[in-house]
Amino acid sequence: MKTEKSINEFINPQDLDIRVINIKKFFKDIKAVDGVSLEIRKGEFIALVGPNGAGKTTLVEMIEGLQSPDSGEVYIKGKLWKGNEDTLRRILGISLQETYFFDKITVLETLNLFASFYGLGEDRIKYILELVNLDMKSKVYVNNLSGGQKQKLALGIALLNNAEILLLDEPTTGLDPSSRREIWNILKRLKEQRNISMILTTHYMEEAEFLCERIIIMDKGKILAEGQLNKLLSDYSNESNKMNLNDLFLSMTGRHLDE
């Protein structure tokens, strides 16, 4: 029997951190995700890029078990969501697109709450506060944090449980360049220190280029192209015309990424 994808001939599916097989999710006549398959190996950092409405959030939330696909399957470390919720929740680190936390609760209290769900103690919280540079803000109410600080808190919460797989939905959208750079550095350091895998959605090309070795380009619920960044660029470039990711997207769809 031949498997669909050549990659499966070399890798045991059990070794894949995430395996998505032909998932679909329609909202009435909107095809939010329209037959997507992908595989993520341990230690891989993947950028899911595409303009607003491409279906990135819907795809990621289906992987996170927060939305159920109309059809298709999601395996996390070889396990389906059904029946494995509690196990899988513990190995994923998640930051949703635009979450608000409790307004009049401090950063430290928010972390205490989330840490309690994983049975974690003060040491871990202290470590996270330092990791995301919020130790000076630990007594500040969440609604008094700046946008960048809120995102760092969301990232801190995603990292609390020392997850093996990170799923970050637009972790830097709307931030100023220096806050964005700060979050990139935290993630980059993490990647160097630990063997974790990550899917990150973004519509910033620099972000994808800086953090991720593999890029998946999505539009209108479908994957347009995927591969190593250099390979993608060289495939679509020609001698006279050196491309970046933005140009690549433009040439594929006739539109700009951040439209």
Ligand X SMILES: Nc1ncnc2c1ncn2[C@@H]1O[C@H](COP(=O)(O)OP(=O)(O)O)[C@@H](O)[C@H]1O
Would you tell me which residues interact with ligand X (CB under 6 A)? Answer: 27, 30, 32, 50, 52-58
Classify strands 214-219 and 45-49 as parallel, antiparallel or unpaired: parallel
| Smallest separation, CB 90 to ligand X (Å) | 25
Out of 2, 28, 83, 119, the only residue in the binding site for other proteins (CB under 8 A) is 119
Sign of CA dihedral 69, 166, 156, 207: negative
200-237 as b/e: b if 16+ CB within 10 A: bbbbbbbbbbebbebbbbbbbbebbbeeebeebbeebe
Residues 141-180 that bind other proteins (CB under 8 A): 141
| Smallest separation, CB 50 to Mg ion (Å) | 9
Nearer to other proteins, 142 or 257 (CB): 142
Out of 45, 75, 114, 204, the only residue in the binding site for other proteins (CB under 8 A) is 114
Q: What 8-state DSSP symbol labels residue 222?
A: E
User: In the structure encoding, which two tokens stand for residue 214, read together?
Assistant: 């593999």
Residues 83-112 that bind other proteins (CB under 8 A): 86, 89-90, 92, 94, 96, 98-105, 109, 112
Nearer to Mg ion, 58 or 161 (CB): 58
**One-letter-per-residue 3-state SS of 43-90:** CCEEEEECCCCCCHHHHHHHHCCCCCCCEEEEEECCEECCCCHHHHHH
| Smallest separation, CB 117 to ligand X (Å) | 25
Q: Which does 90 bind (CB under 5 to 8 A by kind): other proteins, Mg ion, ligand X, none?
A: other proteins
Residues 89-118 that bind Mg ion (CB under 5 A): 97
Out of 45, 57, 137, 151, the only residue in the binding site for Mg ion (CB under 5 A) is 57
Reference 167, options 74, 71, 53; nearest CA is 74
Query: Which residues form the interface with Mg ion (CB under 5 A)?
Result: 56-57, 97
